[in-house]
Amino acid sequence: MGQLEGKTAVVTGGNTGIGLATAKRFAAEGAHVFITGRRETELEKAVAAIGNATAVSGDVSVAADVDRLYKRVREHGQGLDVLFANAGINHIATLDELTEDIHDAVFDINVKGTFLTVQKALPLLNDGASVILTASTAAEGGAAGMSAYGASKAAVRAYARAWADELGSRGVRVNVISPGPVNTPMWDAAFGDRAREMMEAVAAGLPPKRVADPDEIAAAVTFLASSDSSFVYGANLYVDGGMNQI
């Protein structure tokens, strides 16, 4: 028996990177996984790679799209046991480069998107459900060019603390993971041609001298999703190669 046998899970941003690796793990552990993302072709490829999955395209920052996702989950008829609110974007901009549009986009997706994803799931959450949010070490890292991103991830951590308290008494656990650097397409989107060089520079400063593989984050998320973490409420789990310690 897998750790998530017969469970229903949602993974936002499940078509690439950390979300895809996690959706694959959830399915391998026996869950049916609904994945979301904005690009239909990537979603269909991801469904083929995951196996026991359904794709629902949409933007997490648009309420009607999130409603459409949960309509599909409701039709599946088993409620929702695991919600991984993971979709997010990074945009590198120093304070003098940061435009209102960039700031709004980062907060719309990372903060409002997380809020809509969790709030609209409430009627579907089964007793004992696990909700996991994705923050980042950038929430306290203070790296140049990451102020809007870091602030948005600090907001996600604040959500997790409050929601763990609010939902815990209803039998729903809420926790948050804070990955350090992970080898995903987000680096290409943020740094373009300089992505590899930036990743190597960050890796050099970490005890393991490398960035994480997405599957190493997926393993931690699967722990939080499963009953192995049944007494873990409101935790912020760093999966960061020691970045937070140094």
In the complex, the residues that contact ligand NAD under the rule CB under 6 A are 12-13, 15-19, 36-38, 59-61, 86-90, 109, 113, 134, 136, 179, 181-182, 184-186, 189
Q: Taking the complex as a whole, how short is the minimal distance between the CB of residue 240 and ligand NAD, in angstroms? A: 8
- What kind and span of H or E run contains 114? helix 113-119
Q: Taking the complex as a whole, how short is the minimal distance between the CB of residue 125 and ligand NAD, in angstroms? A: 20
Size of the chain in residues: 246
Q: Taking the complex as a whole, how short is the minimal distance between the CB of residue 43 and ligand NAD, in angstroms? A: 8
DSSP of 151-163? HHHHHHHHHHHHH
Nearer to ligand NAD, 30 or 216 (CB): 216
Cα 82 from Cα 232, distance rounded (Å): 14
Q: Taking the complex as a whole, how short is the minimal distance between the CB of residue 126 and ligand NAD, in angstroms? A: 24
For the chain, state the CA radius of gyration: 17
Token output for 125 = 């959450």
Token output for 73 = 């989950």
Question: Distances in Å between the alpha carbon of 211 and those of 5, 69, 91, 195, 202?
Answer: 31, 32, 19, 12, 8
Specify the long-range contacts of residues 154-157, CB closer than 8 Å, at least 24 apart.
155/107, 155/110, 155/111, 156/110, 156/111, 156/114, 157/133, 157/236
Nearer to ligand NAD, 149 or 167 (CB): 149
Nearer to ligand NAD, 126 or 157 (CB): 157
Cα 26 from Cα 4, distance rounded (Å): 7
Catalytic residue among 149, 159, 233, 238: 149
* Catalytic annotation present for 149: yes
Nearer to ligand NAD, 122 or 189 (CB): 189
Nearer to ligand NAD, 119 or 230 (CB): 119
Token output for 78 = 């088993």
Q: Taking the complex as a whole, how short is the minimal distance between the CB of residue 195 and ligand NAD, in angstroms? A: 10
Q: Taking the complex as a whole, how short is the minimal distance between the CB of residue 171 and ligand NAD, in angstroms? A: 26
Closest to 91 measured CA to CA, from 13, 19, 192: 192
Nearer to ligand NAD, 4 or 60 (CB): 60
Q: How far apart are the first and last CA of the chain?
A: 39
Q: What residues are labeled active site?
A: 149
